[in-house]
């Protein structure tokens, strides 16, 4: 176990050094990377919400740059300049797009008060509680079922409460997308996004495969995201037989219903899908 830990630590250190070197080279090529005017477009969500799919669809549009999680703790304006550098590294060059995109799936990265203050344009994305818990349990498979489901519920509950707080702190209208709509009513979602973001051309169902597509710590590591198109095969078969204890399911459904009501009251949205 210690040797594995040391190997992981060494690997992480080398990865950080390589990223610093890459950032340095990029800054030399584009010294004014933070000077151009732009808007910040954030997907605020929870893990396993199809946020990687949405970010790839958006990040493939010429008006938007970014498709990955930056993992930046946003505390001030310099952190938003750092996002520009992270996105430039992810797309191998300086962005000329109107929007710089990040997705935030953990509440410690962004305080609700930062959204308005920094001019962030948020897109709230929520997935059905049953699908979310099953998908979360699958990626946390190092634990026993009951423990993993509890961790999954804790994350889901925490993120939805944070999303409600973010929404309540807004003065401008945001966008709310039900994750099911993204695959079941795709064109309606595209029309909503194009109208509200004032995109210069329509969104399409195919998307680019980028430098970090499918890599861990950058988003969905599954093979599905590497398809380059929306995959509509429903919940994976390995999750269909999983039974969620009624108390957990009731709690997840309750926080989901509460969050949806808050977002629907304050955001533009399509309504609910099944």
Lowest-confidence region among 2-16, 30-44, 189-203: 2-16
Check pLDDT > 90 for residue 98: yes
- The contacts of residue 148 (CB under 8 Å, 6+ apart) are 136, 137, 140, 141, 142
- Check pLDDT > 70 for residue 190: yes
3-state secondary structure the chain: CHHHHHHHHHHHHHHHHHHHHHHHHHHHHCCCCCCCCCEEEEEECCCCCCHHHHHHHHHCCCCEECCCCCCCCCCCHHHHHHHHHHHHHHHCCCCCCCEEEEEECCHHHCCHHHHHHCCEEEEEEECCHHHHHHHHHHHCCCCCHHHHHHHHHHHHHHHHHHHHHHHHCCCCCEEEEEHHHHHHCHHHHHHHHHHHHCCCCCCCCECCCCCCCCCCCCCCCCHHHHHCECCCCCCCHHHHCCCCCHHHHHHHHHHHHHHHHHHHHHEECCCCCC
| pTM assigned to the model | 0.86
Look at residue 243 in the predicted model and tell me its pLDDT. 83
Is 134 in contact with 53 (CB distance < 8 Å)? Answer: no
- CATH class label, 21-268: alpha beta
Q: Where are the domains of the chain?
A: 21-268
Instruction: Select, from the ranges 73-82, 184-193, 232-241, the one with the highest average predicted confidence (pLDDT).
Output: 184-193
Tokens 């399509």 correspond to 270
Length of the chain: 274
């Amino acid at each position: 176990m210690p040797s594995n830990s040391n190997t992981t630590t060494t690997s992480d250190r080398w990865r950080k050094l390589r990223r610093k070197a890459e950032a340095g080279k990029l800054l030399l090529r584009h010294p004014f990377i933070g000077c151009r005017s732009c808007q910040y477009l954030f997907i605020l969500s929870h893990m396993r919400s199809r946020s990687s799919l949405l970010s790839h669809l958006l990040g493939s549009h010429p008006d938007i740059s970014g498709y990955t999680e930056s993992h930046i703790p946003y505390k001030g304006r310099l952190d938003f300049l750092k996002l520009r550098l992270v996105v430039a590294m992810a797309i191998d060059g300086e962005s000329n797009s109107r929007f710089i995109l990040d997705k935030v799936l953990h509440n410690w990265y962004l305080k609700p008060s930062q959204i308005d203050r920094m001019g962030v344009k948020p897109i709230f994305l929520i997935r059905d509680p049953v699908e979310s818990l099953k998908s979360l349990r699958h990626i946390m498979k190092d634990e026993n079922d009951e423990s993993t489901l509890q961790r999954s519920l804790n994350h889901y509950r925490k993120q939805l409460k944070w999303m409600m707080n973010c929404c309540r702190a807004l003065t401008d209208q945001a966008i709310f997308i039900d994750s099911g709509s993204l695959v079941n009513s795709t064109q309606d979602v595209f029309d909503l996004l194009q109208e509200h973001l004032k995109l210069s051309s329509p969104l399409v169902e195919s998307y680019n495969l980028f430098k970090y597509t499918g890599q861990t710590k950058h988003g969905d590591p599954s093979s599905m995201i590497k398809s380059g198109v929306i995959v509509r095969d429903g919940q994976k078969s390995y999750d269909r037989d999983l039974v969620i204890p009624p108390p957990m399911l009731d709690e997840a459904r309750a926080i989901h219903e509460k969050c949806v009501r808050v977002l629907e009251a304050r955001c533009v949205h399509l309504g609910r899908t099944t």
